[in-house]
Amino acid sequence: MALWLSLPVIASVSLALTGALRRYALARSLMDIPNGRSSHSIPTPRAGGLAISFSFLMALPVFGFFGVLDWSFIFALLGAGAGVTLLGWLDDYSHVPVRWRLLGHFAGAAWALFWLNGLPVLNVFGSSFDLGWLGHVLAAIYLVWMLNLYNFMDGIDGIAGVEAVTVCLGACLLYWLSGFQSQIWVPAMLAMAVAGFLFWNLPPARIFMGDAGSGFLGIVFGVISIQAAWVSPQLLWAWLILLGVFIVDATFTLFRRLVRGDKVYEAHRSHAYQYAARRFHKHLPVTLAVGAINIVWLLPIALCVTSFGLDGALGLLIAYIPLLVLAVKFHAGEIEEKQAICS
């Protein structure tokens, strides 16, 4: 019971710390200045994601002390999460070259995979695959991509926070209904840490998450999903389904930009959610739509995978196909000027 009471404490710490970070940023003019690639028009404080990282990571050892979480899982989250947060904070306020960022990202991924013992056996369409060392390499690439795609998708008010809260609470429900109640704590803690920040970030945002927060959430989701795969192969598919909105939009956009020969590391406004925000002239409808898709569409499919025997890979295809249609409908990856002419 005492551990359940810690959840509102985590949310309160995140809430208070986000407010303190906002005051600090305003006092020192540490602002995100709008430019031609921004989806906002008013200078806004950033790096509020530090509050998410701090409130979540500081709670982990407490749960380890009470024997609720395995220490190898805690070390994976602590090392990768803290390292990515620090690197993101440095990039928020003093630009870090892409090559050094990627090196840091892969270092964080390697650290996490060391403590998780790499990638477990995968179950795909009823067949099991042990990829050995290749699986570890693919897992590292997966973690780095999750980190960066979450950064790419944090482009309008509230979207990254709403995604995190709905996905985490959905995962808690799946764990509970599928008999893995002991696994609920980490997503529940993360949901509370993000909820405290989200109070300040809902449209119109009073502070942004910044790379310190978005990168942290991306790699933490990746680490949690791989750890879940060690618990049950179907849980990995469930996490990938729950995160489908961000995965599909970011991956499809990246693919189209790669095919076109764009410099994919440069900032842009060609994600589907960014086009949608410009179409509706507001951030809130798009942010709420993401939450609704997670709850109404993706969560029931993930539940079918974890509790009703639906094959995970098949469930992923069912979940992603409509998301891919939406990405095409909202011009994900198209050149903005070309899309404007065609509209």
Which residues are annotated binding-site positions? 151, 211
CB 252 within 8 A of CB 321: no
Residue linked to tokens 């002239």: 281
Distance CA 284, CA 326 (A): 18
- CB distance 146 to 221 below 8 Å: yes
Contact (CB, 8 A) for 271 and 336? no
- Return the SS3 of 117: coil
Q: How far is CA 95 from CA 19, 40, 42, 53, 107, in A?
A: 24, 20, 21, 20, 19
Question: CA 69, CA 335: separation in Å to the nearest integer?
Answer: 46
Cβ contact 315:303 at 8 Å: no
Q: Which two tokens stand for residue 22?
A: 């906002």
The 3-state DSSP class for residue 32 equals strand
Residues in the annotated binding site for Mg(2+) = 151, 211
- Cβ atoms < 10 Å from Cβ of 286: 25
| First-last CA distance in the chain | 55
Which uninterrupted H or E stretch holds 129? strand 127-129
Beta pairing class for 44-45 and 31-32: antiparallel
Instruction: Please report the DSSP string for 191-249 in residue order.
Output: HHHHHHHHHHHSSSPSS--HHHHHHHHHHHHHHHHHHHHHH-HHHHHHHHHHTHHHHHH
